[in-house]
Amino acid sequence: MAPMAFQDYIDALLYVSMGIPTTMSLAALAFSIGIVLGSLLLLTRFFLPKPLPWIATAYVEAFRGTPLLVQIFIIYFGVGGYLKAYGINLDPFTAGVIALGLNSAAYQAEIFRAAVQAIPVEQYLTAEAYAFTKAQTFRYIILPQALRIALPALMNELVLLIKDSSLVAVIGVFPPDVFRRADYFSASRFMYFEAYMAAATVYFILCYTMVKISHWIERRYAIPGYLRRGIL
């Protein structure tokens, strides 16, 4: 890269980096929504009577089976359009958080389901032998282990949300996120390579940092014996 081009890249990197707070806010808020809603979906599928588990499964399959970009458009232009008729303005940032959160909830519900099903059936039988109710078994025996088993996949979901947050740029999120700022920089200076390379660099640094943090969390909260056997 020529010296001038390198300076342009540094300028783009500094400009694009100012979008980090918005990108991380989108990912963190969406992840929080996903945690809460994903937990409710898990409880619905395990404890509530039919047809509620079928509805929860349909939700999961619908959001996993359609593109996230389409879901963002449905929330912002579709739902947002209906809300405007009632005087409610759905701004791009809120729409993006909702769309990312609803999408993440479907994947987190599957992560929780897989973690719960990974608990050996002998533990259920032992709890039953000690006269534990189904709710007590889930709360005191299954859930603490399932959350720790699910940690690697949950942290991976957070990394994916950081990358997927770039899709919200298409609806004009404000304040602009990393990718939106790259668009602004490339359009104003006609330096597309430098702008998008800067965006790629920022996303890589954010995701790599989160991966390292997730590895520490996984080791810190791993179930004794699972890490040695290669389960985590």
Token representation of residue 170: 């298409």
**Averaged confidence pLDDT in the chain:** 86
Question: Which residue, chain included where needed, has tokens 């790259």?
Answer: 182
Specify the pLDDT at position 197: 93
Question: Which residue, chain included where needed, has tokens 């005191």?
Answer: 140
Q: What's the pLDDT tens digit per position in 7-50?
A: 888 888 999 999 999 999 999 999 999 999 998 998 888 777 78
DSSP state of 167: G
Give yes or no for residue 228 having a pLDDT over 60: no
Give yes or no for residue 220 having a pLDDT over 80: no
Q: What's the pLDDT tens digit per position in 109-154?
A: 999 888 888 887 777 778 777 777 777 787 778 778 888 888 888 9
3.30.2090.10, 3.40.1190.20, 3.90.470.10, 1.10.3720.10: which CATH number matches 1-221? Answer: 1.10.3720.10
CA distances from 168 to 37, 140, 158, 178 (A): 21, 39, 16, 10
DSSP state of 147: H
Q: What's the pLDDT tens digit per position in 85-98?
A: 888 888 999 999 99
Give yes or no for residue 4 having a pLDDT over 70: no
Token representation of residue 37: 């809603």
Written as one letter, the residue type at 117 is Q
DSSP assignment of 199-217: HHHHHHHHHHHHHHHHHHH
Give yes or no for residue 162 having a pLDDT over 90: yes
Distance CA 188, CA 209 (A): 30
